[in-house]
A and B are shown apart, each in its own frame.
Chain A
Amino acid sequence: MSPVIVILSVISAVLALTMLFTRNAITSAICLLGVLIMTAGIYGLIGEHLIATIQLVVYAGAIMVLFIFSIMLLNLNTEERDYKDHPGAFAGAVALGLGVFGFLAYALTEHFRSHRGDVVPGPFTSEYVASLGGNSKVLAHSLFTQYYVSFEVISLALLIAVVAAVVLAKRKFD
């Protein structure tokens, strides 16, 4: 593992903790943005340029813009909103988080322990992908041939979401 990856991981861990513990909503959003960019950097360093780029386009370039936009528009004057402690809700959230984490950790370790022998690497080794003309070409090819139907179904679902958003917003403005 290259030292740059370690540095990026440490930075993203620090940013993630800051995101969790800060009381300023903007700082939280910017830290999440930083985490996403650092993750994109890690993807790029292990040679998955396409994933890194898509991470930047979709998460950093689109979703986080929406987050920051809405935070800034909603509380323009009071940047630190009054936060009331609800001890019961907090304890419940912590318990739920720990429970989900424990379950996932148990499932993963159990899976790796019991199926260690029969992990078979798929056909797409990095040499094979390079011989087919690079990551993006292979992805585009399988997306538009093998997974064509699911691609279209997802685009239809997104279209429905867009129309629904317009309908909901329009009712409010009329």
Chain B
Amino acid sequence: MEYFDFLQLIAKILLVVGVCLGVVPVTVWFERRGAAWMQGRVGPNRVGPFGLLQPLADVLKFIHKEDFVPKNANKFYYYLAPLIALIAPLCALSVIPFGDKAIVGGREVVLQIAQMDSGVIFILAFAGLEVYPLILAGWASKNKYSVLGALRGSSQIVSYEISMGLSLLSMLIVYGSFNPHEMVSWQVEHFWGAVVNPFGALVFLISIFAETNRLPFDLPEGESEIVAGYHLEYGAMKFALFFMAEYIAMIMASALISTLFFGGYSLLPGMDFLVSFIASFFGFGSVGTTNVTAVFQFVSLASKVAFFMFLFVWIRWTLPRFRFDQLMDLGWKILFPLSLINLVVVTLGVYYFNR
């Protein structure tokens, strides 16, 4: 591997991982403030301006807590579970393109960490790996409630993966490619995926709520019934890792749904005007224009992701939690057949329009 290639790869990995990990505290703050706002409370507002330094104080608290391990726990798997929980969604982020291309020193840099032609299935692979931390954590901590949470969580993730995969499949038929870059360019040429296949987008949205264990599907954690589910026995930084993993999974899911259904990194309306204005104002050539476009593409993907993060918080405080049998009924008896029918309809539509 060439020196430049290696360097740009490291730079992209640092950018993606840094942005995701850096955004997590802000999201936590936003979640708490948003929750307070929707419930007519104030929320954290004492530490720093608007309470923005509250996550920092929380992290300090987490670090200084006792690193407690339950007596009967299986130590190795007890420590392994939060690590897998954090690593799996971070790996999945590596195939999400966050811009078209930038030009650095006369060389083109594709703004996506792993360029592989099976891009989207790779994300599914890592979504499948997200079951392991739940099972391992629930089993290793040797607690009845943890095991219950792990069983609920894994059966939920496995069930909703099917409808998620089917709605993904319908979009693959529309785009005719696994490559996220080609998907985005298809959406730039035609319409957003959500316009072409609105039902698929809805099913996918519901499925990612279930996949990330967020309300109204947070049964694995269900505080009122099984205390905290699979991470009940986790304290200090190990709990913080699970907490971060949940938010990173949310970011990953938001980026995925934006790429598949909402135009990905394609510029938001009005931004192309802004790009050409900036380019002409500073007198950029084609290289400068490409780079400015890349920055704005990153901004538009980030704003789409931010919208979906807001949606996660919004829905959390709008819908109550499902009962477990209702959750399974929704997954297997409603979403699964409907997404199967939707797949057939989309296939017929694609056949008709491509004829």
Chain A residues in the interface with B (C-beta under 8 A): 26, 30, 33, 44, 49-50, 53-54, 56-57, 60-62, 65, 68-69, 72, 76, 79, 134-137
Contact = CB atoms under 8 A, between A and B. Distances in A.
Contacts of B178: 136
A53 B118 contact: yes
Given A65-B154, A136-B118, A136-B178, A56 B129 contact: yes
B77 interface: yes
Contacts of B74: 26, 79
Contact of B77 (A30, A54, A61, A137): A30
A95 B128 CA distance: 38
Contacts of B128: 56-57, 60-62, 65
Contacts of A72: 135, 139, 147
Contacts, number: 64
A56 B88 CA distance: 12
Contacts of B177: 137
The SS class assigned to the B binding surface is: helix
B158 interface: yes
A56 to B, nearest CB: 4
Interface in B126-152: 126-129, 131-132, 135-136, 139, 147
B21 interface: no
Contacts of A60: 125, 128-129
Given A49-B116, A49-B122, A61 B129 contact: yes
A50 B118 contact: yes
B125 A61 contact: yes
Contact of A137 (B117, B129, B132, B136): B117
Which has the most chain B C-beta neighbours within 10 Å: A30, A57, A134? Answer: A57
Interface string B65-98: 0000000001001000000000000000000000
Contacts of A61: 124-125, 127-129, 131
B121 interface: yes
Contact of B126 (A26, A56, A62, A65): A56
B129 A69 contact: no
Interface residues of B, number: 24
Most buried by A among B74, B139, B147: B139
Contact of B125 (A57, A65, A68, A135): A57
B15 to A, nearest CB: 21
A30 B78 CA distance: 13
A33 B121 CA distance: 19
11 contacts: A44-B116, A50-B121, A61-B128, A61-B129, A65-B135, A69-B154, A72-B139, A76-B139, A76-B147, A135-B118, A137-B177
B158 A53 contact: no
B121 A26 contact: no
Interface in B167-199: 177-179
Contacts of A49: 116-118, 122
A168 to B, nearest CB: 19
Between B118, B121, B132, B136, the greatest number of chain A beta carbons within 10 A of the residue's beta carbon is seen for B118
A57 B121 contact: yes
A154 to B, nearest CB: 18
A26 B132 CA distance: 12
Nearest to B179: A134
Contact of B132 (A65, A79, A135): A65
A137 B177 CA distance: 8
Nearest to A65: B131
B197 to A, nearest CB: 20
Contact of A136 (B117, B125, B132, B136): B117
Contacts of A53: 116, 118, 121-122, 125
A44 B136 CA distance: 26
A135 B154 contact: no
Contacts of A50: 117-118, 121
Interface centre among A44, A49, A62, A134 (most CB of B within 10 A): A49
